[in-house]
Structure 1
Amino acid sequence: MARFDLHPAHIDGLVNAGLQFGVIGVFDDPMPIGQMLLQQHRPHRDMEQKDGGPPDYVATVTDRALHPVAVLRLLDCYEYQTSGTIGWHVSEAHAWTNRMREKVLTRLPAEAEASVRHGADYVPAYRLLAAYTETPWGITELDQIPELGDGVIEVPVVRKVLRAEILTGPFHSPNKGLSSRVRHVTVIGVGEERTLPAFAQIFEPSDNAPGVYLLFEHGRYVARPADAPPGKWFMASGAHLHTSDSRWHELIGHSLPIPLHDRTEP
């Protein structure tokens, strides 16, 4: 990602966040903080006054309640664009942004900091929220920062699952069931309570591996689609589920394939 000089509005966003989250006192002058952040960001841009004073900066203060997740986006961008400057890791700006981040994270649900898979990497869960992704990477005006709104911040929980392979043979008749279009499923729950023991929470679901429940019926386990509407009747399609993962035995009590009930009829 290319580095660029941040607009003064980005500094305004950080200053307003500092006021909102108590890192800058209510009766404190926010101007020196903004000057400090700007000076660290552009140390070699002739930003200091001729008399050696701090760079010109006049804070623009807003009464909008900024979304905490959007503030984290501002912090991430500022740190990325500034981390290559001389003395960054021992600078006042670095210490200030760390303090700011800690303060903002206390306003979010605990699961917001959990690492979740995103592409080939793992990122904090808050980076997948709309307030983060929809905030520009380097704002040019304060109105680009989302507001907190009703104050409710929901972080989607990514459920870890156990993946299994769909086995089919010559008598496979799914009638448009999931085994007609995919080769894997993810087990997201077992039994009447449809929960998954911690030892089996390994992978994350994907579009190519729909969720299924393993239900114990008539003395054996069968698998059924997890997204089935209530009252929908499913029957065996000739497909079975199996995985070589040793947790399969722990989950169902044996290491054999089990029937996949994914066939429906009008």
Structure 2
Amino acid sequence: MSRFDLHPAHIDGLVNAGLQFGLIGVFDDLAPVGQMLLQQHRPRRYVEQEDGEPPDYVATVTDRALHPIAVLCLLECYEYQTSGTIGWHTSEAQAWTNRLRETVLTRLPAEAKATVCHGADYVPAYRLLAAYTETPWGITELDQIPELGDGVIEVPVVRKGLRAEILTGPIHCPNNGLSSRVRYVTILGVGEERTLPAFARIFEPSNDAPGVYLLFQYGRYVARPADAPPGTWFMASGAHIHTSDSRWRELIGHRLPIPLHDRTEP
């Protein structure tokens, strides 16, 4: 990603975050922090004035409560665009942004700070949340920063499971069940507790591989749709599920296919 000069509003966002999270006192002058951040970001653009003072900076203050995760996006963008400047690693700007990050992170629930797999990379979970992804990479107006709202930071649980193939034969009567429209399922849980060992949490369910639970009933496992409304009764459709993945045997204790109960009737 190419580097660019940040808009003054981005500096305003960081200054307002510093005020909101206590790095700047309520009665403190906001200008010195903004000048310091701006001067480090654009060292060749902003030379000191004749009296030795840094360039003028006037902060724009907002009464909106900025979302902590959006503030992390502002921080990461500022650091990315500034880290190549001379003296960054020993600068006051880096020390200040580190303090702000540490303070903001204390306001997040543990699951938002956890490291999660995203594609081929591992990233902090907060980077996948709307407050982060909906914040522009380099804001130009303070109103572009999402607000905290009711103060509750919700982290959706991303469920993952083991992918299995749907097998059908000459006798197959799904009656619009899963096996009538998809060829794969994602096993999200096993048993009455519907839990899954860590070794089997690999793929997220999708429209092409919806979630199922494996329930042990009448002496064997059967698979049933995970998103079914409570009380829905399913029966065998003639389809089975199976995978050649070695984790299949670890999960159910054998290598054989198991019935898919995805047929319902009015």
Same fold (TM over 0.5): yes
For residues 56 and 145 of structure 1, the distance between their equivalents in structure 2, rounded to whole angstroms, comes to 24
Q: Which moved more, 1:156-165 or 1:20-29?
A: 20-29
Aligned residue in 1 for 2:145: 145
Using structure 1 for the length normalisation, give the TM-score: 0.91
What corresponds to 1:157 in structure 2?
A: 157
- Change in Cα spacing, 1:91 to 1:206, as seen in structure 2 (3 Å) is farther
CA contact (8 A) 2:39 2:46 kept: no
Equivalent pair of 2:234/2:261 in contact (CA under 8 Å): yes
Per the alignment, residue 111 of structure 2 pairs with: 111
Q: Distance in 1 between matches of 2:239 and 2:31?
A: 68
Instruction: State the alpha-carbon separation in 2 of the partners of residues 223 and 132 from structure 1.
Output: 37
What is the alpha-carbon distance in structure 1 between the residues aligned to residue 49 and residue 175 of structure 2? 76
Q: Secondary structure at the match of 1:53?
A: coil
Tell me what 1:99 maps to.
Answer: 99
**Cα distance change, pair 227–101 in 1 and its aligned pair in 2 (3 A):** same
1:64 — aligned with what? 64
Deviation digits for residues 171-213 of structure 1 (CA, Å, limit 9, x no counterpart) = 3332322122222211111112222233433333333221101
Asked if 2 retains the 8 angstrom alpha-carbon contact of 1:49 and 1:56, the reply is: no
- Structure 1 residue runs of 5 or longer lacking an equivalent are none
What is the DSSP-based 3-state SS (H/G/I as helix, E as strand, rest coil) of the residue aligned with 1:85? coil
Alignment partners' CA distance in 1, 2:140 and 2:214: 52
**1:45 is aligned to 2:45:** yes
- CA RMSD, aligned part only? 2.0
Counterpart of 2:187 in 1: which secondary structure?
A: strand
Letter in 2 for 1:21: F
Q: Secondary structure, in 3 states, of the residue corresponding to 2:122?
A: strand
Aligned residue for 2:43, secondary structure, equals coil
Alignment deviations for residues 90-137 of structure 1 (CA, whole Å, 9 cap, x no partner): 322122212211110110111112233444443322122222222222
Give the Cα–Cα distance (whole angstroms) in 2 for the partners of residues 47 and 75 of structure 1. 24
Contact map agreement 2:69 2:126 (CA 8 A) in 1: yes
Q: Which runs of 5+ in 2 are unaligned?
A: none
- The answer to whether the 8 Å contact 1:116/1:158 transfers is no
Aligned residue runs from structure 1 range 1-266, under 5 A: 1-266=1-266
Tell me how far 1:218 sits from its aligned partner: 1.1
Q: Check 1:165–1:48 CA distance in 2 against 1; reply closer, same or farther (3 A cut).
A: farther
Provide TM-score, normalisation by structure 2: 0.91
Tell me the CA shift for residue 250 of structure 1.
2.5
Deviations 1:69-88 (A, max 9, x none): 11111112111221222222
The amino acid of 1:87's aligned partner reads G
For 2:162, give the aligned amino acid.
L
Report the Cα offset of residue 170 of structure 1: 2.9
